[in-house]
Structure 1
Amino acid sequence: MRYFAMLLIGLFTGSLGAVAAMSALKSDVPYNDAIMVVMKHQMGAMHGMHESGKCDATEANHRIALLGAAASDVDAAFLPVGDDAKFKELSGKLRQAVASAQASERSDCAALKKTMGDIGQHCKACHDVFR
């Protein structure tokens, strides 16, 4: 009887420990979510610049550089996803759009809006397939 009681106590304690460990592991923000948050924040900041009519080229370049850094990690954050070839194709197009934005001049808000549209269409293309 004592053996059976100790076995039940051990199983109960072990299950509580497992639940606590799983809860602790789940409390972290997954890397892929963090990448998306960074990209969303940078696009939002550029959208705010455009909406306010204060399109500072230096600030826009900084935001696009941060967006490029996040875009360079998209494959590492999300793969494997099932159709890896399609994902790599779309993420490559996103990186090309960001690289093109980094190489172009943004002298006014209209240019910034075009840059955001170019990058945004590649974000949307991937989300349409994989979200």
Structure 2
Amino acid sequence: MRYLVCLVVGVLAGAILAGMYANAMQRRNAWPRALMNVMQHELGAARSAARDGTCAMPSQRRPADHLRLVADDLDAALLPAGAKDRVLSQYIVDFRAAVAAWDAQGPCPRQAEALTTVANACEACHRDYR
């Protein structure tokens, strides 16, 4: 009976410690996940507006500005300080170029094409790093 109690206590202690470890590991990646969520939200909103034909509204500037701001933070969020990753850096440069090429004041079909390019830049990086 004593061994059974020790086994149950050990399993419970292991489960609690594993949960604490998993929680700590999730918090370590909070900033990159937050940036990706913001990018996904803003890109989705912009693509919806381009599809619906409401992209001529001034509200399309907000997603464009947010994506440009987030693009500036990608290096710091995804690479540790002082680290160099040639491939990831190239993906970030490609993403920045795609966002810069997007004219948020242009006609909807042009915006849809530019947003597809931005989405493709995201997907290219996700193929290698997700």
TM-score normalised by structure 2 residue count? 0.71
Q: Percent identity?
A: 25
Q: AA paired with 1:58? A: P
1:66 corresponds to: 66
Name structure 2 gaps, 5 residues minimum: 1-13
Q: Is the 8 A contact 1:57 1:107 kept in 2?
A: no
Query: How big is the alpha-carbon RMSD for the aligned residues of Structure 1 and Structure 2?
Result: 2.9
Name structure 1 gaps, 5 residues minimum: 1-14
Q: Is the 8 A contact 2:68 2:99 kept in 1?
A: yes
Residue 53 of structure 1: CA displacement?
Answer: 2.1
Q: Deviations over 1:29-86 (max 9, x none)?
A: 7100000000000011012212322113422222111011111111111114x97111
Runs of 4+ in 1 over 6 A off after TM superposition: 17-21
Matched, 1:32 2:32: yes
2:100 corresponds to: 99
Q: Distance in 2 between matches of 1:97 and 1:26?
A: 32
Q: Distance in 2 between matches of 1:37 and 1:123?
A: 12
Q: Is the 8 A contact 2:98 2:117 kept in 1?
A: yes
1:129 corresponds to: 128
Residue 116 of structure 1: CA displacement?
Answer: 0.3
The number of residues matched between the two structures is 117
